[in-house]
Amino acid sequence: MKLTINERIAKLREWMHSESIQAAIIPSADPHMSEYLPDYWKTREWLSGFTGSAGTVVVGIDTAGLWTDSRYFIQAESELKGTVIQLHKMGEKGVLSIPDWLCKTLFSGDRIYVDASCITLAEFRKYRDKLKGSALEVIAGDDVFRHIWEDRPPLPAHPVFEHPREFCGKPMGEKLSEIRREMKQQSASHLLVTALDEIAWTLNLRGSDVECNPVFLAWLVIDEEKATLFSDNSKFSAKIIGQLEENGIEIRPYRHIEDFIAGLTENTRLMIDPLQVNYRISVAANKTNLIEKSSPVCQLKASKTHEEIDHIKEAMRRDGVAVFRAFEWLKQQLKSGTVPEYVLAEKLAFFRSQQSNYMGESFHAIVGYRGNGAIVHYRATESHFSEIEKEGMLLVDSGGQYLDGTTDITRTIHLSEPNDRERQHFTLVLKGMIALSRAVFPEGTHGVQLDILARQPLWNHGLNYGHGTGHGVGYFLNVHEPPQGFVPNLSQRGTSVLREGMITSNEPGYYLEGHYGIRCENLVVCRDRGDGFQFLETLTLMAFDQKLINPDLLSPEEKTWLNEYHQSVYRELSSLLTESERLILKEQC
Per-residue DSSP letters for 74-137? HHHHHHTTTSSEEEEETTSTTPPPHHHHHHHHS-TT-EEEEEGGGSBHHHHHHHHHHHHTTT-E
CATH of 5-148, one of 3.20.20.70, 2.30.42.10, 1.10.760.10, 3.40.350.10: 3.40.350.10
Name the nearest CA neighbour of 350 among 379, 325, 382, 386.
Answer: 325
Going from the C-alpha of 161 to that of each of 204, 214, 462, the distances in angstroms are: 9, 10, 50
Per residue, what are the HEC states of 413-456?
EECCCCCHHHHHHHHHHHHHHHHHHCCEEECCCEHHHHHHHHHH
Residues in CB range of 227: below 8 A, 6 or more apart: 176, 220, 221, 247, 248, 249, 250
Q: What is the pLDDT of residue 1?
A: 59
Q: Determine the Cα angle at 57 with ends 52 and 61, to 5°.
A: 155
CATH 3.30.360.10 is the classification of domain 161-302? no
Q: Where along the chain do its domains lie?
A: 5-148, 161-302, 306-588
Dihedral over Cα of 108, 119, 496, 186: its sign: positive
Predicted TM-score (pTM) of the model is: 0.96
pLDDT at residue 71 in the model: 87
Residue 237 DSSP SS3? coil
What is the structure's pLDDT at 330? Answer: 98
What pLDDT does 162 receive? Answer: 98
The answer to whether the CB of 272 falls within 8 A of the CB of 192 is yes
- The helix (run of H) or strand (run of E) holding residue 44 is helix 43-48
Indicate if 306-588 has the same CATH topology as 5-148: no
Give the Cα separation of 486 and 507 in Å (integer). 9
* pLDDT at 130 (0 to 100): 94
Provide the pLDDT for residue 451. 98
Rg, the chain, Cα only: 24
So what's the pLDDT on residue 373? Answer: 97
**pLDDT by residue, tens only, the chain of 589 residues:** 589 999 999 999 999 999 999 999 999 999 999 999 999 999 999 999 999 989 999 999 999 999 999 889 989 999 999 999 999 999 999 999 999 999 999 999 999 999 999 999 999 999 999 999 999 999 999 999 999 999 999 999 999 999 999 999 899 999 999 999 999 999 999 999 999 999 999 999 999 999 999 999 999 999 999 999 999 999 999 999 999 999 999 999 999 999 999 999 999 999 999 999 999 999 999 999 999 999 999 999 999 999 999 999 999 999 999 999 999 999 999 999 999 999 999 999 999 999 999 999 999 999 999 999 999 989 999 999 999 999 999 999 999 999 999 999 999 999 999 999 999 999 999 999 999 999 999 999 999 999 999 999 999 999 999 999 999 999 999 999 999 999 999 999 999 999 999 999 999 999 999 999 999 999 999 999 999 999 999 999 999 999 999 999 999 999 999 999 999 999 999 999 999 999 999 999 9
HSE toward the beta carbon, residue 528, CA cutoff 13 A: 12
Q: What is the CATH number of domain 306-588?
A: 3.90.230.10
Whether the Cβ atoms of residue 589 and residue 562 lie closer than 8 Å to each other: no
* Rounded distance between C-alpha atoms, residue 214 and residue 508, angstroms: 27
What is the DSSP-derived secondary structure letter of residue 381?
A: B
- Helix (H, G, I), strand (E, B), or coil: what is residue 11? helix
